[in-house]
Amino acid sequence: MKFSELAAWIGGATAALTDFWQETGLTGAQLSEKLDPEISNAVPFAEAQKGSITLLDSLKKLSSLAGSEASAVILPKDAEEKLAADGMKKWNPKGIALLFSDAPYQDFAKIVSHFDPPIPRPAAGIHPRAFVDETAKIGQNVTIMANVCVGPNVEIGANVILHPNVCLMEGVKIGDDSVLFPNVTVYEKCIVGARCILHAGVVLGAYGFGYDSSSGRHILSPQLGNVVLADDVELGANTTIDRGTFGSTRIGEGTKIDDLVMIGHNCQIGRHNLLCSQVGIAGSSTTGDYVVCAGQVGLADHISIASHVIIGAQAGVPGNLTEPGTYLGAPATNIQEMKRQFVAVKQLPDYWKTLKALAQKEQKAAVR
């Protein structure tokens, strides 16, 4: 595919390189090839070679352009102004074909899909090696692959895809257009909303870690609730969400949860949260809307996190966070206060030297 064809398809502006290449003395076919190279693949920036188009999605990375071997690069629209102001040779000494886009990330994704089309949706139908209980209700255009187990009174909406070895226990409900990847287990009475994605190894509805120890032994507490995922929730591989004791553990609409996240029983997770890998949320905790927990954040049990809170990686949260903002450290503290603490800690060696010198001075004075 010629670069000019690709640019016309995407609809972005291209860099004017005719003068640049004519100054090198190129003419004819050689000039045409430089101005309109053949594009055969779309790859990440570090992998780009001749014939590749790649993505440079930030002006901060513009200096990397000079070292690229790509035949073409897609850039954000504001890069066009900067290149015009500073001169093409400063940032693009190799004269790489450039495509400027208002949405470079999305446009590059379209180009990648063109050269490497995604695997099509599997055909609808029930595999002969799947088990589907006779009381289950199956919607239209559902795909049930080999070794799937669908228990009694399960309800599956339209266009759902169940990959191999998915297990849906009694009374489970799966909303329209949801996808469950291999080895997902959904315990009895749990509910998955529409357009949800559950990656391999997800477990919904296992017993909560709650015990009555009053007798001197750890006796499992009642586990009579369920897990409810609202619409458009995504769960990463091997994430687990425990069922409520009497009610529901809930995950709010649009929340996205990374791999290896654990959410305890009775938790109420708000809408549009982002929970990164290895986050752990102990039982009966609540988050508001648009909360972000970076990797390895730990939330204690029975606490509440306000909406629009961002918690930095490896932070430990022992109590409520009632104000929107960014929090770091253990115990998690507002970022401004934590920055002051970081500065103070870095200065401790100097303070120690000063104190030591003062102590030695006092000792010498006392001897006299």
Q: Does 122 fall in a domain?
A: no
Residue 265 catalytic?
A: yes
The yes-or-no verdict on residue 359 having pLDDT over 90 is: no
- Quote the tokens at residue 10: 């995407």
Q: Which residue has the higher pLDDT, 194 or 366?
A: 194
Shared domain check, 219 and 99: no
Classify residue 35: in a domain, yes or no.
yes
The residue annotated as part of the active site, out of 218, 265, 272, 302, is 265
DSSP 102: S
pLDDT recorded at residue 12: 76
Alpha carbons 116 and 62: distance in angstroms, whole number: 26
Statement: residue 245 has pLDDT above 80: yes
Sign of CA dihedral 58, 59, 63, 67: positive
- Angstrom distance (rounded) from CA 245 to CA 209: 10
Give pLDDT tens digits for 189-214: 999 999 999 999 999 999 999 999 99
Which is nearest to 205 in space by CA: 190, 216, 195?
Answer: 190
- Count of structural domains within the chain: 2
Residue 16: CATH number of its domain: 3.40.1390.10
Range of the domain at 283: 184-331
CATH number at residue 276: 2.160.10.10
- Of 86, 115, 144, the residue at which a domain comes to its end is 115
**Are residues 222 and 301 both part of a single domain?**
yes
What span, in angstroms and rounded, lies between the C-alpha atoms of 236 and 198? 7
More confident residue, 29 or 166: 166
Q: Give the pLDDT confidence score for residue 91 in this predicted structure.
A: 83
At 22, the pLDDT band (50, 70, 90 cuts) reads low
360: pLDDT confidence band, cut at 50, 70 and 90? confident
Question: In terms of domains, do 80 and 216 share one?
Answer: no
Give yes or no: residues 205 and 307 share one domain: yes
The answer to whether position 353 is within a domain reads no
Helix, strand and coil content of the chain, in percent to the nearest 5, comes to 25, 25, 50
End-of-domain residue from the set 64, 98, 115: 115
pLDDT at res. 24? 61
Q: What is the pTM of this model?
A: 0.86
Domain membership of residue 121 (yes or no) is no
- Ordered alpha helix ranges (H), the chain: 3-10, 18-22, 28-35, 78-86, 88-91, 104-115, 335-367
Tokens standing for 223?
């586990």
User: Is 357 contained in some domain?
Assistant: no
Residue 26 has pLDDT above 90, yes or no: no
pLDDT tens by residue, 78-136: 888 888 888 777 888 888 899 999 999 999 999 999 999 988 999 999 999 999 999 99
Query: Is 190 in the same domain as 322?
Result: yes
246: DSSP letter: S
Q: What is the pLDDT of residue 325?
A: 97
